[in-house]
Amino acid sequence: MQCNRRQWLLAATAAAAALPVQGAPPAAALPSGPIKLVVGFPPGGGTDILARLLAQKLQVLWGRTVIVENRAGVSGTLAADYVAKQPGDGNTLLLAHISSNGIAPGLFPKLGYSAEKDFAPITMVGATPMVLLCRPDKGLRSLEALVEACRQRPGRVSFGSAGTGSAQHLALEELRRRAGIDVLHVPYKGSAPMVTDLLGGQIECAFEGMTTATPYLKSGRLQGLATTRLQRAKGFPDLPTIAEKGFAGYDASIWFALAAPAAMPAALVQRMNADVNQVLASADLQAKLSEFGAEDSGGTPERLGAFMRAEQARWAKLIREAKITPDS
């Protein structure tokens, strides 16, 4: 009798193990054929570099070709518009950027896509702080000294940006409004010409993403006065934040996230979220992200969706209140 009972228990245990786990459906199948990761900026820039690092890792994990496709123009909105209109089969993804999916909805009244409704958020790739930069020979050794210079020379201290409505411009506008200063905004067509003029002394200051700023800071060609996130940047722990310098809550970043056309099935979104989070957590990719100052990578689609909606609302409010237009 004891033997029969033991045999029955063993058989029941084996049968239970063979049953599918309730509440844990099998992972959705990846799409057939190559997967495109669309980037809204030219090859060689920070966004493109991050996209290629991510594509390389996913290609190994997924066992299929992952192609980075550059569709540069209009602050990344050409790429976002293209991806928004693709089928939701998983073959086309977007490396969403603060410009295309955070700022553009409030800046361009006739945007061809809805940043909120036309995309399925997958996961955050990373958020990089910006650095408030000036040339070392300008004699501006601190954020306090810069603010005082702006008050002494209202409308004459020049700040460059990567363009009207860019993340760098809005970081400046946020500081200008918080500090109650008047400055001269000089918009450029991208970061490269802006940094060239900053190095040459044609402009006095600028906000720039840490990815671009790092080599100039390390070489001493440019000086950092402060960073723009709530916590100090890991790569430059000696640089104070603007928030800790008397502007509580000041927080601005250049962020990158993975998104898909809104029609992509929820199960495939979850599969890609899990896979991309796995890749982002790898030691070598974490090291690369750290080089770019990129933090806060990974997380759920819901977390990313809430973050993007909050960004869209805050920048739209600033753009509206400051009366910023694309050609202003």
* Domain CATH for 118: 3.40.190.150
Of 222, 245, 268, the residue that ends a domain is 245
Predicted pLDDT of residue 258: 98
The verdict on 50 and 123 lying in the same domain is yes
The count of other CB atoms within 10 Å of the CB of residue 136 is: 11
Of 195, 213, 245, the residue that ends a domain is 245
Phi, psi of 160 (to 5 degrees): -85, 160
Of 210, 245, 280, the residue that ends a domain is 245
- C-alpha 160/C-alpha 182 separation (Å) is 14
Predicted pLDDT of residue 2: 42
Name the region of 296 (left: φ>0; alpha: ψ -120 to 50; beta: rest).
left
Structural contact between residues 301 and 120, judged by C-beta atoms closer than 8 angstroms: yes
Length of the chain (residues): 328
Mean pLDDT (10-residue bins), the chain, 328 residues: 41 41 65 95 86 95 96 94 97 97 95 96 96 92 95 96 95 97 94 94 95 92 96 92 96 96 97 97 90 90 97 97 85
Predicted pLDDT of residue 151: 96
- 133 is a domain residue: yes
Domain that holds residue 189: 129-245
The verdict on 171 and 233 lying in the same domain is yes
- 66 is a domain residue: yes
Residue 53 tokens, joined: 């690092």
The verdict on 161 and 62 lying in the same domain is no
17 Cβ contact partners less than 8 Å away, ≥ 6 residues apart? none
The verdict on 167 and 235 lying in the same domain is yes
- 194 is a domain residue: yes
- 13 is a domain residue: no
Residue 88 tokens, joined: 């939701």
Total structural domains in the chain?
2
The verdict on 261 and 117 lying in the same domain is yes
Q: Which helix (H) or strand (E) holds 196?
A: helix 191-200
The verdict on 153 and 217 lying in the same domain is yes
The verdict on 231 and 257 lying in the same domain is no
Task: Please name every residue paired with 261 in a beta bridge, in sequence order, or none if there are none.
Answer: 119
Q: Which helix (H) or strand (E) holds 120?
A: strand 119-134
The verdict on 119 and 172 lying in the same domain is no
- 318 is a domain residue: yes
3-state secondary structure of 126: strand
Predicted pLDDT of residue 138: 85
- 6 is a domain residue: no
Name the residue with tokens 């900026």: 41
The verdict on 240 and 261 lying in the same domain is no
The letter for the amino acid at 111 is L
Q: What CATH number is given to the structural domain containing 180? A: 3.40.190.10
The verdict on 147 and 116 lying in the same domain is no
The verdict on 81 and 137 lying in the same domain is no
Phi, psi of 184 (to 5 degrees): -100, 110
- 10 is a domain residue: no
26 Cβ contact partners less than 8 Å away, ≥ 6 residues apart? none
The verdict on 265 and 234 lying in the same domain is no
Predicted pLDDT of residue 25: 55
- 23 is a domain residue: no
- C-alpha 69/C-alpha 51 separation (Å) is 9
